A and B are shown apart, each in its own frame.
Chain A
Amino acid sequence: MLATTTAFPYALVVAVFLAALVEMVEALTIVVAVGHARSWRSAIEGTGLALLCLTILVAIVGPAISHVPLTPMRVIVGAVLLVFGLQWLRKAILRASGHKALHDEDEIYRDTVAQLRAAGQPVGRDRLAVVTSFKGVFLEGLEVVIMVVTLGAQRHQILIATTSAVSATVLVAIVGAIVAKQLNNVPENLMKATVGVLLVTYGIFWSGEGVGVVWPHGDVMLLAIAGLVAAGVWVQIQVARR
């Protein structure tokens, strides 16, 4: 029953907060690069425009998705979370086991600054700077929007999910404004793995319910599934390291 799936709202908050934190740290690198290489005004304009578009998307898609009948929504939302979560876990395992390079914000910053400086200074309005920071924030934020809409709609907790994502965005923005540089000391891979575990947990639970699974002990199974998924990821990291 959907009504019973309200016992663990904290997991929803943590999942969306960490996901938004990871994505916004990546977006901050682009915005800071634009600010340093071109102009801070254009960087802020692009960021504001992207955040506005993302807010409109949540405002439109969020209420719309909650009108989809319960069973198909469980299957679709659960399957999307499962696929998305598995993609995040795959990357996290490959990075933790050394088969894929860790996300290097310093390198991304250097590359972006070099590209922006090579384009030359504009006459009048700096469209390249606005577009670059818009794309950086919008594309990173789009993944968060999908999580907010899917996790929040299924539990009818769009507002909580949105608040969680906005809190992470504000936190990154404040830290970014204070230090005015990219944040390279964030344990990004660990955060990605945590988000992946939570997404896969909800994905298994909801898609399972959608296709007719009756979970023993109801919501409590979410904890058991999360523990098993986390243990499974740890085992796979150890195996991949060999």
Chain B
Amino acid sequence: MTFVRLLASAVVGTGRFLWDFLVGDTPEIFVAVCVALAAVAVISHHRHSSVGGWVLLVATFVILGGSVMKAIRTSKKK
């Protein structure tokens, strides 16, 4: 029983850490990266394998800019 509890708390702790690490207070970055990678996968599998790289690069700038602007807007509201 103690082992099961220990295991459960270790799993919960790891899950929390991964959530904080990958999502934390910037869920928009996590979601946008997933969407961008899915879009690039679709583009690349339709024989535009090098175009997908440029799309990913541009998407990265858009994601970063969007997240920075969101943070600035939030800090100005406060």
Q: Taking beta carbons and an 8 Å cutoff, which residues of A are in contact with B?
A: 75, 79-80, 82-84, 86-87, 89-90, 93-94, 99-100, 142-143, 146, 200, 204, 207-208, 211-216, 221, 225, 228-229, 232-233, 236, 239-240
Contact = CB atoms under 8 A, between A and B. Distances in A.
B60 A200 contact: yes
Main secondary structure of the interface of A (DSSP, over half): helix
Interface residues of B, number: 32
B26 A142 contact: no
Contact of B49 (A90, A143, A212): A212
Most buried by B among A84, A90, A99, A229: A90
A225 B69 CA distance: 23
A20 B14 CA distance: 21
A87 B57 contact: no
B40 A211 contact: yes
A221 to B, nearest CB: 8
Contact of B52 (A83, A84, A211): A211
B50 A228 contact: no
Contact of A80 (B22, B40, B53, B61): B22
A236 B64 contact: yes
B33 A79 contact: yes
